[in-house]
Amino acid sequence: MKKSRSTTTGIDRIRRALACLFVLAGALLFFAPGMADEEAAGEESNGADSAGPSAIMLTVDGAIGPATTDYLTRGIQTAEERGVDLLIIRMDTPGGLTEATRDIVKAIRSSQVPVATWVAPGGARAASAGTYILYASHVAAMAPSTNVGAATPVSIGGGAPQAPDEPEKNPDQEGGGGGEEAEDGTGSTEPDGEAPESDDAAESEKPSSASERKAINDAAAWIRGLAQETGRNAEWAERAVREGVSLTSEEAVEQNVADLIAADLTALLESADGREVDVLGDPVTLATAGAAVETIEPDWRSELLAIITNPTVAYLLMMIGIYGLLLEGYNPGALVPGTVGAICLLLALYAFQVLPVNYAGLLLILLGIILIVSEALVPSFGALGFGGIVAMVVGSIILMDTDVPGFEIAMEVIGSVATLSGVIMFAIAYMAVKAWRSPVVSGAEEIESATAEVISTVDATDGWVYMLGERWQARSDRPIPPGTPVRVTGRQGLIVRVEPIESDRE
């Protein structure tokens, strides 16, 4: 009884400790924004005391996703609160998710502070989603040896667009027109003004389905509207979407895609100084020469969001969560697997909420886990387990419903998880076969094959033996003296029939 109470007390202490940790984490999450606001207010007051223009610079380096959206939108809010003269977004990106890009563009167009997007340093690019952000900004700047363009939407749920089964109504449309009818190129990288090499090449670059054509038309209308609003080259912008063309920094300035070339931050501020931009319908003349620039790096919240929304990390969190809950179900009261599993699963579900998830892939993964677990409960000789591994691998491959660079699950991780699940399945099958072949060690079968020791003379009418830690009444066809080892040959209720073990040797 004392042991049971101590065990219960220990479990209660663990539960209380976990509850205190959760309360502490909640308090930190609750008070962290307030602490950040106080810090921002203090910095704002310091900035107000300093004379001269001021600017804030944010850095985007990599694929654009939910974490980038959170970082940029909060940076724009900070710039508005401090009343700086310019917000600079230094960008180098291969592209990103459409919804994240739209949120960033909305934040830029609704900003009360002029926003300058600067493609830098040399060798950087504003590809795909970066092109939309550049067009949405009040000032578009590029460093030497940078490029912009290739803004064709990546097809969702598959690879590159395939050639259509039937030709379009205007198959001979030239690639240099850039008008509303230029729908025949989704992957061309021809220089501006050059037509495709042949009609067959143009035909092979057409969107292969109605959904792809809708996505391209929607993106073309979107970037054309941004170009018209900011006074930039709308025809080239549409070509960047429909044909995937790109420009160098010098060509971008010549064709009114970018406003200026700036090799460094000082050159950017001097070149932007005196430029008149439209901010929420009001003309604003920039005064940025010699501005004090503060660089705001991603904080812990943005870093954590970037880690969680990484598809590979989200996938691993989901698998850890599922297996953790399964282990907790097999070992109730273990607490650690269940707690870790629940936290990881909730984090994975949050990440999947903001990521382009194919729910068919998610269901296939869950089905695979269920089949692997069922292998331990149903004698299917590996059929359920093998089918579960196949379902889980296929679901993992198609889980991310996009081909955007940086938002795919590493095949090495999928292979490792599949291998681990296979090892678990074969381990379960091995233990099941071993248990099936091993002799029974409990119940009536155990009693009928047990050995005992006579503690009082056993004969046909009376006698006792010591067996399995207990005293049993015993009977025998012939008298057996105390201390003789015997073997049970049968049982009638609570009375066992025994015979001396030495009789086998005679």
User: In this structure, what CATH number is given to the domain that contains residue 216?
Assistant: 3.90.226.10
Residue 446 backbone dihedrals phi, psi, to 5 degrees: -65, -40
- The full length of the chain comes to 506
Tell me how many degrees the CA angle 409-412-416 measures, rounded to the nearest 5: 110
Cα 278 to its chain centre, rounded Å, is 38
Count of domains forming the chain:
4
**Domain check: are 213 and 325 in the same one?**
no
- pLDDT for 170: 41
Question: Is the same domain home to 322 and 427?
Answer: yes
Q: Are residues 128 and 145 in the same domain?
A: yes
Other CB atoms within 10 Å distance of the CB of residue 498? 26
Considering the domain architecture, whether residues 314 and 287 belong to the same structural domain is answered as no
Sheet with strand 260-261: strands edge to edge = 260-261, 139-142, 115-119, 86-92, 54-61, 292-295
Same domain flag for 129 and 248: yes
Token match 């107000």: residue? Answer: 48
Helix, strand, or coil (residue 285): strand
Same domain, 149 and 184: yes
Range of the domain at 483: 443-504
Looking at 377-472, list the stretches that DSSP marks H as alpha helix, in order from N- to C-terminal side: 383-397, 411-437, 443-448
Residues 182 and 158 in one domain: yes
Q: In whole angstroms, what is the distance from residue 402 CA to residue 312 CA? A: 14
How far apart CA 317 and CA 319 sit, in angstroms, is 6
In terms of domains, do 159 and 202 share one? yes
Q: What is the pLDDT of residue 357?
A: 81
User: How far apart (Å, rounded) are the C-alpha atoms in residues 294 and 501?
Assistant: 92
275 shares its domain with 407:
no
- 71 and 199, same structural domain? yes
CA atoms within a 13 Å half-sphere pointing along the CA-CB vector of 70? 14
Bridge partners of 464, per DSSP, are 456, 473
Low-confidence residues in the chain, pLDDT < 50: 1-8, 10, 23, 29-50, 155-204, 504-506
Single residue among 437, 469, 486 that ends a domain in this structure: 437
How many CA atoms within 13 Å lie on the side-chain side of 499? 10
Residue 41 sits in the same domain as residue 54: no
Please report the pLDDT score of residue 395 as a whole number: 86
Boundary (domain end) residue, out of 403, 421, 437: 437
Please say which residue of 264, 298, 332 terminates a domain: 298
pLDDT, residue 134, reads 95
406's tokens: 């940086």
Q: Which tokens is 33 given? A: 């924004």
| Judgement on whether residues 454 and 396 belong to the same structural domain of the protein | no
How confident is the model at residue 12, as a pLDDT? 54
Whole-model pTM? 0.62
